[in-house]
Chains A and B, each alone.
Chain A
Amino acid sequence: MMQPVDKIIFGDNHFFGINHMSQEKAQQLAEKFFDISAIYAVYKTAIDSGIKAIMLNSNERAKDICKHFKDNKSKYPELNWYPSIPYPHKYANLISEKGIMATINEILFKNNTPIDAIGMVTKGGIGLIGKDAVKLMQMLIDVEVKMFKGLNIKVVFLQNIITDLMLGYNVRIIFEEYCNYIRKKHHATPGLITQNMPILKAKLEEWGIEGVVICSSFNKIGYLMSPDIDAYLEAAKKNDPTKYQLMAMSTLASGAIPAKEAYEFINSQNIQSVVFGASSKKHIEETASLIKI
C-alpha cells in the first residue's frame, strides 16, 4: 500500500524559460525570473496560498533554490519536495560536445568524487562501469539528488526523456533497481515521468513493480499523450491507487485549454495528484481552487 502523495504540487517549468507552445513566452519567462529573488517571491506567494508541495528539476539554478529553502527551513517546516532528475539538457549538450564517456566522467568527477566511483575506476577502468549500468545509475542518482538533501523529499522522479528512452529498451532491471534505490538509499517514493503513461503502466504491471508515482501529461486535447488520449482514459480508469499514484502535468496543454475547462476534465478522472505552474497570486489561487480530485 503506497503513501498518498500531495494532491496539489507546485511545478517549476515557468521559472526556467520552458514553454511548449511559444518560444517568445519562454523567453519572457526566462527574463522575468532571471533574478532568483523573483522565483523566491513566487514560491512565497504559492506557499501563502496553501501550497505544501514543490516539484523541482535538478538544474543549475535548483541548487540555489534548495539552499534557500534549507537556510529557511524553520519558516517552511511542512513543505514536501518532489525532485525530478536529471536536468536532461546538461547531459545532451555535454554528450554532443564530448561524447558519452567524457560526459559521465565530468558529471561524476568534476565536483563530486564518490568513493565508489573512484574504486570502480581504479579496479577496472571506466569501461567497466558500462557493464554495471545499475551501479552507474546509482552514482548518477546520488549526484543529482545531492542538492535536495536536508529537505523533506517525498518522491524522486526520473525525467521523461530518460524514463521513455529506457522504456523503449524494455529492460526491467533498470526500472526495478531505480525504484529500489530511491526507496532504500534516499528514503523516498520512486516516481517516473513519462509521455507514454499507458505503455509504462502496463510494463510496470507486467514486471510486478508497484508503489510508484507515475507523472504524465494529462489534458483533454491529448497533447503529449502517447499513444492516444483514449488509452490514457482507460489506464486511469482501471488504475488501483494503492499500487500506482497518477500525477497529471501539462493539464492546460501549455495554455491551449482554459483553466476551468481543463480542471473539470481532470476532476472527472481517477487521478491522485496534479502538478501545475503559475506566477501570479491570482492564477495560483484560482488553479488551486479549481483542482478537486
Chain B
Amino acid sequence: MNNITMNMKKAKIGIIGIGRMGMTHYSIINSHPGVEIKAVVETSSFISGFIKKYLTCVNSYLDYLNMFEKEQLDAVLICTPPTLHYPISCRAAKNGVHVFSEKPFTTDCKKAAELTQLFNKQNLVNQVGYVNRFNDVFRKVKQYLDSEVIGDIIRFKSEMYSRTITKSEEGKTWRDSRENGGGALYEVASHAIDLVNFLIGKPDKVTGSSLSSIYSKHVEDAVNATFLYKNGISGTLNVNWSDESYRKPTNKIELLGTKGKILADQHGIKIFLKKRDLVNNFHEGWNTLYITDLFKAVPFYVRGNEFTSQLYHFIDCIHNRTLKNVCTFHDATQTLEVIDEIFSDFELNGKLS
C-alpha cells in the first residue's frame, strides 16, 4: 500500500457479471485498501441470491442500466459475456466511470477504436484483462528485450495450450459462437497474440492462418498463424484449448535474436547467449531463471500474482492519474486487429476448395 492510496478517498466500484472471472476479481479488488465495492450486477438467481444474503453491504442489480442510474461509481469491472462489453463501456463513459473490461472488450475493430477515443478524450482509465502483461516472467522478458540482451529479434514462436474444452459442445452457450466472442481465438489465442504485441509489437501482416474445430460445433478450438514484420522479423502462433496433455493453461514464448535466444513460460526463463553478458550476469551458453528468482510478492493472492497486479494497477491508476496506464483499450484494439486479420486470412486463403 502506498501513501497515495492511504490518503485517497476510496474508489467506489461496481462489478458487472459474477462468472468465473467476476468472482475472482471481486475477491482480489475487495482486498485493495483504496476500494469500496458498492454494487454488483448479476442475472443468475443463484449468484444474486448469494450476494443478497451474504454480501449485505453491496447493492445487487439485475440490470446494469439500473445500476448506472442509481449508483455514484468511480469505476466498473466488466466481466459479462463479451457481447455486453461494448454497450456497458459506452454507458460507463457517459457517467464518467473508469473501466476495466475482460477481453475481448469488443469483437468489432471499429467499435474498439471508437471506445479508445471516447475514453482517452474523457481522460478515463481504461484497461483490458490481458493478464500476461502483468506476469512476473513475461515482464522480465520484456525488460531483457528492451535492453537488447538477445540483440535484434529474428524469429519467434508464441504458443498457448489448455484443456478448456474437452467435450463436444452443444453449441448453445456464448462460448460456441464467434459473434458472441466465443472460440479459441478470442478467448485463448488473444493472450498469446497480446503477448506478441507486448514483447515485439503488432505484426504488419498475417498469413498462413488455419483454424480447426476439435470439439466445438461453431467455433475453432485450435489456431495457427504466421506473423510478418516490415523490418524482417517473422513468427508463428500456435494455440489449442482442447489439448488434454496440459493440466493448467500454459503460455510459452520462444525468441531468437542476433545475440542469443530466450525461452519463457509461466515457470521461468531460459536464456542462451553467444557471448557473456556482464550487466545481467549471464554466462555464455544456457542460463536459467526460475519463477522463484523472478516473482514479486503481491499484497493479496487468489489466482496468481498477475491477477492481483493487473487489478491493483487499475485502481492505482485511478488514485494516481500520473501513473501510465498499462494494457489499455488502445493495446487491446491492436490485439483485436490481429485477431480480425487471422479470421480474414483464413477465410481467404485457409480453406481447400
Contact = CB atoms under 8 A, between A and B. Distances in A.
B244 to A, nearest CB: 10
Interface in B288-308: 290-293, 295, 297-303, 308
Interface in B19-62: 19-20, 23-24, 26-28, 30-31, 44-50, 52-55
Given A223-B292, A223-B295, A96 B164 contact: yes
A258 interface: no
Contacts of B218: none
B10 to A, nearest CB: 15
A130 B47 contact: yes
Interface in A108-152: 126-133
Contact of B28 (A166, A168, A171, A228): A168
A233 interface: no
A93 interface: yes
A174 B20 CA distance: 19
Contacts of B49: 127-128, 130-131
Given A127-B49, A131-B53, A164-B301, A256 B290 contact: yes
Contacts of A226: 297-301, 308
Contacts of B46: 100-101, 104, 126-127, 129-130
B122 interface: no
Interface string A162-197: 001111111101100000000000000000000110
B189 to A, nearest CB: 16
Contact of A221 (B31, B52, B166, B292): B292
B292 A168 contact: no
A293 interface: no
Interface string A1-28: 0000000000000000110111100100
A161 interface: yes
Contact of A21 (B26, B28, B268): B268
Contact of A100 (B19, B30, B169): B19
Interface in A212-237: 221-229
Interface residues of B, number: 47
A231 to B, nearest CB: 9
B248 interface: yes
B70 interface: no
Interface string B240-282: 0000000110100000000000000101100000000000000
A168 B27 contact: yes
A21 B288 CA distance: 11
Contacts, number: 125
Contacts of A227: 297-300
Contact of A26 (B247, B268, B290, B303): B247
A245 B282 CA distance: 43
Contacts of A127: 45-46, 49
Given A173-B54, A226-B299, A227-B298, A97 B27 contact: no
B163 interface: yes
Contacts of B165: 96-97
Contact of A224 (B20, B169, B301): B301
A18 B248 CA distance: 10
A170 B32 CA distance: 12
Contacts of B173: 99
Contacts of B230: none
Interface in A246-274: 253-254, 256
B164 A93 contact: yes
B44 A100 contact: yes
B297 A22 contact: no
Nearest to B18: A100
Nearest to B295: A223
Contact of B293 (A20, A229, A256): A256
A167 B55 contact: no
Interface string B50-93: 10111100000000000000000000000000000000000000
B301 A195 contact: yes
A166 B54 CA distance: 11
A291 interface: no
A254 B294 CA distance: 13
A41 interface: no
A233 B94 CA distance: 48
Nearest to B247: A17
A95 interface: yes
Contact of B292 (A97, A174, A228, A254): A254
B167 interface: yes
B26 A168 contact: yes
Contacts of B250: 23
B118 to A, nearest CB: 31
A75 interface: no
A135 to B, nearest CB: 11
8 contacts: A89-B248, A95-B20, A96-B164, A130-B44, A131-B52, A168-B302, A227-B299, A229-B297
Interface of B: 19-20, 23-24, 26-28, 30-31, 44-50, 52-55, 163-167, 169, 173, 175, 247-248, 250, 265, 267-268, 290-293, 295, 297-303, 308
The 5 closest A-B pairs by CB, nearest first: A168-B27, A130-B46, A256-B292, A130-B49, A131-B49
